[in-house]
Structure 1
Amino acid sequence: MNRPTGRGTDPRELYRQAAAALDRGDWPLAQRLAEVLAPHARGHGGVHYIAGVAALQMQQVPRAINHLRQAAGHDPAQPGYLAQYARALSIGHRHAEAIAAADRAMALAGADAVTLDTLGSVYSRANAHGPAIEAYRRACALVPGHAGFRFNLATSHMVHGDLDAAQREYEACIAADPGYWRGYLALAQLRRCTPEHNHLQALAEQIASHPDDTDAQLYLHMALGKELEDLGDYPRAFDHYTRGKAAQRKREGPSTERDAAMFAAVRRWFDDRPAAEASGYDSAEPVFVLGMPRSGTTLTDRILSMHSQVHSAGELADFGIALWNAGGRSGRSLAGVLANLDPGFRDWEGLGRAYVEGTRAVGTGRTPRFVDKLPHNFLHIGFIARALPNAKIICLRRNPMDTCLSNFRQPFAPGLPDYGYALDLLDTGRYYLQFDALMAFWRQRMPGRILELHYEALVDDQARTTRELLGFCGLPWEDACLHFEHNQAPVATASAVQVRSGMNRDSVQRWKRYGDRLDPLRRLLSDGGIAVEA
């Protein structure tokens, strides 16, 4: 390990060493040197900046926030310090404070492109996509040939529904760096390709040219699979999805045991507890839309948020964070959090209040209801029901084969622990079986508490199913809810393009187009007790 030299007693030399350690990514050394200097460098923002950035890189978020707050306080005219402070607040889910710090940084002259890109990510995390576009646009203006800046700007345009601008920026991203593999996938997903307009040859050539690059194999195979699916070549599309996901799974490993432990931990926590306990926080604002990813949660959110009394808050991690705080901030996984949560925990009111107050940072409170559409909140249903007895819980259900296929063919961002199952089709099936069993567990313990809304019913009879949805939420009928495609709110999920078109049946029974490629999945689900139609 690198250590300070014999001249390290000189504060200027220690500072030089700390800055050098930060530049080369030696976070522990940078932090150690900066914290040695901090008591002797009052008023020196740079020392706290080094300590804060190093702490943030090591996921020590509270420590990072403390140091970066001091850095920004000592040098309030330094946009880079404010940007990193905003970033730390954002990662700590303190979005209102993060936006305030980002706004101050944006108002300062002299921000460099990296700082502006950082500010764009802060705004994006807080669902402030208008300011994000402005920050990314300014970064691109300063460094037009930076592929990453172009990609981020393109994605913000896509979230806002400006597909033409998104296409231009994704193409500029690839032109700036032909090895920016995510750009190929994003471009393929942006529109439906045709025999006249596609990237099949270019994608195939890049795949052949980079056989040992895991990221290239992942993104390029997924992009080629999507375009082949657009053209109706389902067997070849499936083969490319399989090859792309296999490349990622080889790097990340299977998640089957970790997922099984998580489901078991949730059920075990509630097994010996009565179905109803002490009352929680009495807010009726939250509407939780949850379920397996790719099952219609975004569509349902768009329908609900067309109502004048409902605001879409997006996919919030706030309930999981409130639960983590209640468990003493211990455990990196849900299983770990529950292992550290006091078996005698009774502060349901405090848990519910902490969740609702935490959502204020993303604009809740302006309407009587808000939608939190984080799909994996289905794992938290038991806690939600106790902490928020007046909250509405809506679980989307979709044909099991379509659900599993859609998860498998969706290129979730690498490294996300909640989506490790989706790297293998049969692992996805196993995950679905556990999800289905958990929903049966919640139904048995809380009859009538959850509305299970079927995606196919919504597609086949939108008006009747929407009436049922609004009625369950205690909302009066509004015709606008039938026209979700006119919803102007940003969409930052995998369904961003799809939900901007009207209702259609394109995704219903999609699995049947893949023929015998899905026979192993069908057998797995059938053996697990899931009825799969012929």
Structure 2
Amino acid sequence: HEAARRLGAAMVAGGADGAQGHFLLGMADAEGGRIVDAIARIERAVAIEPHGEYRAQLARLYTLVRRDGDAAATLRAAEGALPADALSRDTMGCVYARLGDHEAALPHFVAAVGLAPGNDRFRYNHAATLSFLGRTDEADAALEVIVGRAPDDARAHHLLAGLRRQTPARNHLARLRAVHDRAAPGADRLLTGYALAKELEDVGRAEEALERLVAVNAAHRARLSYDPARDAAIFDAVEAAWPAIARAPAGVAPADIAPVQAPILVIGMPRTGTTLVDRILASHPEVESVGELQALPLAVKAAAGTRTRTVLDADTIAAAAAGGDPAAIGHDYLERAAHHRRHPARRFVDKFPGNFFYAGFAARALPHAAIVCLRRDPMDTVLANFRNLFATGSRYYDYSYDLLDIAAYHARFDRLIAFWRTALPGRILELGYEALVDDQEGTSRRLLAHCGLDWNDRCLDFHAHAGAVSTPSAAQVRRPIYRDSIARWRNHARLLDPARAYLEARGIVID
């Protein structure tokens, strides 16, 4: 990087190839973690000579500092003069994916693989996007190419296992066992362990699957510095902040915006049906899904002005409540969300489950927003969180590797929703996953009515909706509603007994 810096500085000083010099300096800054300096350098390179390669990297850097609108605009400009190299096309695909536009990402991943067919990282990105778009057989074929060349590629094995429900006649169990046994402790062992457990569950070997998960999760939990008190402090801060939020002036007035800008926020514990509800809503001809946005957390963080390293923490919640302007938060949210919308004439669904922390801010800042909270049997929720591998790089999901940690997190979530029920009467529709399974049409009608939408029969055929799904529920929500996941915890009642006792001791009823 220092050699690149020296070369770039010489190019800039010489003046003959200043654009390339600024680009090299910017890339060296980026590799050194100086993202703001890198952006300034590459902006200068683009101004001198707008190469597609420069724009691809500039768009990537914009997403790192949450400038999604600038990233989207830079991608649009790059589409007019596409770069010729595989890395830049893969980079454009990755930026589109970060913005939630997997349809736009796909042709760039196709181009990257075509230009560099031996690059397994590019091929994996292509396969992942195919899976998000429901093109399962194509994703399967792409991943098998990777596994054929790199038999121990843990990411490929993990994605392969999740593409579809495996059967006794069609699975990867023998291969996965061998790969998992060879995997070094750490990320590879975690990924292959989850893949193996998932396929064991699929073929009916539930006890063996959970035993495998217990082992790999315990090993991973031991490497984390997770302290449940950190999450408890955030829950406490949210409740303590409400009086100040409630006293603040109202936020964005419905008269100030078009009706189609009224968001629908789907919140809840992860793995409780939020993606299912998102798909039901997105099947309505007047609604689009924008995926799981960070727009509300980032708007609150900006209002707080805190310099803490995390977006969500107790200090940020307190500062935003004390000094934040709900109208500014609301407008900031809508502006950030706009960069992810592809059908501005429709209502939009933001299904980031963690927005349950921000329900108070949302209620004041976005009085026109509809808020829907998914509820699921507490024990099924604990088990589902334990069985799902969330983003390992995010500290917000560190609770999910231990059954008692999950039970503690769920207990605080349950208390917070009860708090919102009192503080915001009638504002949040609590929708039971089990009720949706038992009475799909009746519950869907309640959902649409709460969101101010007329009934449409297409909502009953949500599984036929062609939109991308980039959550762990991608395969499930492409099937009609099924009952397989209800009361699944009872198959593992003995192992889950400590979690059940913990929840019952805190007044949570277990049926």
Shorter-normalised TM-score: what interval? over 0.9
Shift of residue 514 of structure 1? 2.1
Q: Give me the whole-angstrom Cα distance separating, in 1, the residues matched to 2:508 and 2:160.
A: 36
Q: Give me the whole-angstrom Cα distance separating, in 2, the residues matched to 1:110 and 1:440.
A: 53
Show structure 1 runs of 4+ deviating over 6 A.
33-43
User: Which amino acid in the other structure matches residue 407 of structure 1?
Assistant: N
In structure 1, the gaps of 5 or more residues are 1-15, 21-29
Match in the other structure for 1:6 = none
Match in the other structure for 1:163 = 136
Q: Give me the whole-angstrom Cα distance separating, in 2, the residues matched to 1:202 and 1:110.
A: 39
Match in the other structure for 2:202 = 230
Match in the other structure for 1:67 = 41
The equivalences for 1:65-464 within 5 A come to 65-77=39-51, 79-108=52-81, 111-210=84-183, 212-270=184-242, 272-273=243-244, 275=246, 277-283=248-254, 285-328=262-305, 330-333=307-310, 334-335=312-313, 338=316, 341=319, 344-345=322-323, 347-363=325-341, 366-464=344-442
Q: Give me the whole-angstrom Cα distance separating, in 1, the residues matched to 2:27 and 2:235.
A: 35
User: Which amino acid in the other structure matches residue 67 of structure 1?
Assistant: R
Q: Give me the whole-angstrom Cα distance separating, in 2, the residues matched to 1:150 and 1:65.
A: 28
Shift of residue 99 of structure 1? 3.1
TM-score computed with the length of structure 2 as normaliser: 0.92
Return closer, same or farther for 1:146/1:368 CA change in 2, 3 Å cut-off: closer
User: Which amino acid in the other structure matches residue 178 of structure 1?
Assistant: P
Q: Give me the whole-angstrom Cα distance separating, in 2, the residues matched to 1:42 and 1:329.
A: 43
1:69 alignment partner, SS class: helix
Q: Report the more deviating stretch, 190-199 or 404-413.
A: 190-199
User: Which amino acid in the other structure matches residue 244 of structure 2?
Assistant: R
Tell whether 2:434 aligns with 1:478. Answer: no
Q: Give me the whole-angstrom Cα distance separating, in 1, the residues matched to 2:54 and 2:20.
A: 8
1:396 alignment partner, SS class: strand
2:230 alignment partner, SS class: helix
Return closer, same or farther for 1:185/1:46 CA change in 2, 3 Å cut-off: same
Return closer, same or farther for 1:455/1:242 CA change in 2, 3 Å cut-off: same
Q: Give me the whole-angstrom Cα distance separating, in 2, the residues matched to 1:232 and 1:366.
A: 45
Return closer, same or farther for 1:502/1:143 CA change in 2, 3 Å cut-off: same
Return closer, same or farther for 1:343/1:232 CA change in 2, 3 Å cut-off: closer
Shift of residue 66 of structure 1? 2.5
Return closer, same or farther for 1:116/1:525 CA change in 2, 3 Å cut-off: same
Render the CA deviation track for 1:445-480: whole Å, top value 9, x for unaligned: 111111111111011001111111111111111111
**Count of residue pairs brought into register by the alignment:** 504
User: Which amino acid in the other structure matches residue 54 of structure 2?
Assistant: Y
Any conservation in 1 of the 2:8–2:22 contact (CA below 8 Å)? yes
Q: Give me the whole-angstrom Cα distance separating, in 2, the residues matched to 1:225 and 1:350.
A: 46
TM-score computed with the length of structure 1 as normaliser: 0.88
Q: Give me the whole-angstrom Cα distance separating, in 2, the residues matched to 1:519 and 1:70.
A: 61
Q: Give me the whole-angstrom Cα distance separating, in 1, the residues matched to 2:484 and 2:67.
A: 39
Q: Give me the whole-angstrom Cα distance separating, in 2, the residues matched to 1:403 and 1:155.
A: 26
Q: Give me the whole-angstrom Cα distance separating, in 2, the residues matched to 1:276 and 1:230.
A: 51
Render the CA deviation track for 1:407-463: whole Å, top value 9, x for unaligned: 110011212122111111211111111111111111121111111111110110011
Any conservation in 2 of the 1:228–1:234 contact (CA below 8 Å)? yes
User: Which amino acid in the other structure matches residue 336 of structure 2?
Assistant: G
User: Which amino acid in the other structure matches residue 372 of structure 1?
Assistant: D
Render the CA deviation track for 1:111-144: whole Å, top value 9, x for unaligned: 3222221111011112221231111111111222
2:143 alignment partner, SS class: helix
User: Which amino acid in the other structure matches residue 227 of structure 1?
Assistant: E
Q: Give me the whole-angstrom Cα distance separating, in 1, the residues matched to 2:237 and 2:24.
A: 39
The equivalences for 1:515-534 within 5 A come to 515-533=493-511
Any conservation in 2 of the 1:382–1:442 contact (CA below 8 Å)? yes
Q: Give me the whole-angstrom Cα distance separating, in 2, the residues matched to 1:266 and 1:515.
A: 33
Q: Give me the whole-angstrom Cα distance separating, in 2, the residues matched to 1:440 and 1:41.
A: 65
Q: 1:52 aligns with which of 3, 19, 26?
A: 26
Return closer, same or farther for 1:461/1:110 CA change in 2, 3 Å cut-off: closer
Q: Give me the whole-angstrom Cα distance separating, in 1, the residues matched to 2:94 and 2:167.
A: 33
Shift of residue 246 of structure 1? 2.5
2:244 alignment partner, SS class: coil
1:287 alignment partner, SS class: strand
Render the CA deviation track for 1:70-107: whole Å, top value 9, x for unaligned: 12222312x32111101112233333432332344355
Return closer, same or farther for 1:425/1:483 CA change in 2, 3 Å cut-off: same
Return closer, same or farther for 1:38/1:348 CA change in 2, 3 Å cut-off: farther
2:323 alignment partner, SS class: coil
User: Which amino acid in the other structure matches residue 404 of structure 1?
Assistant: V
1:451 alignment partner, SS class: strand
CA RMSD between the two structures: 2.4
User: Which amino acid in the other structure matches residue 460 of structure 1?
Assistant: D
Any conservation in 2 of the 1:87–1:118 contact (CA below 8 Å)? yes
Any conservation in 2 of the 1:266–1:335 contact (CA below 8 Å)? no
Any conservation in 2 of the 1:330–1:336 contact (CA below 8 Å)? no
User: Which amino acid in the other structure matches residue 252 of structure 2?
Assistant: Y
Shift of residue 358 of structure 1? 1.6
Q: Give me the whole-angstrom Cα distance separating, in 2, the residues matched to 1:175 and 1:254.
A: 37
Any conservation in 1 of the 2:278–2:289 contact (CA below 8 Å)? yes
User: Which amino acid in the other structure matches residue 65 of structure 1?
Assistant: I
Identity %: 39
Any conservation in 2 of the 1:160–1:489 contact (CA below 8 Å)? yes
Shift of residue 179 of structure 1? 2.6
In structure 2, the gaps of 5 or more residues are none
Any conservation in 2 of the 1:317–1:374 contact (CA below 8 Å)? yes
Q: Give me the whole-angstrom Cα distance separating, in 2, the residues matched to 1:59 and 1:47.
A: 19
Any conservation in 2 of the 1:324–1:330 contact (CA below 8 Å)? no
Q: Give me the whole-angstrom Cα distance separating, in 2, the residues matched to 1:386 and 1:36.
A: 54
Q: Report the more deviating stretch, 397-406 or 33-42.
A: 33-42
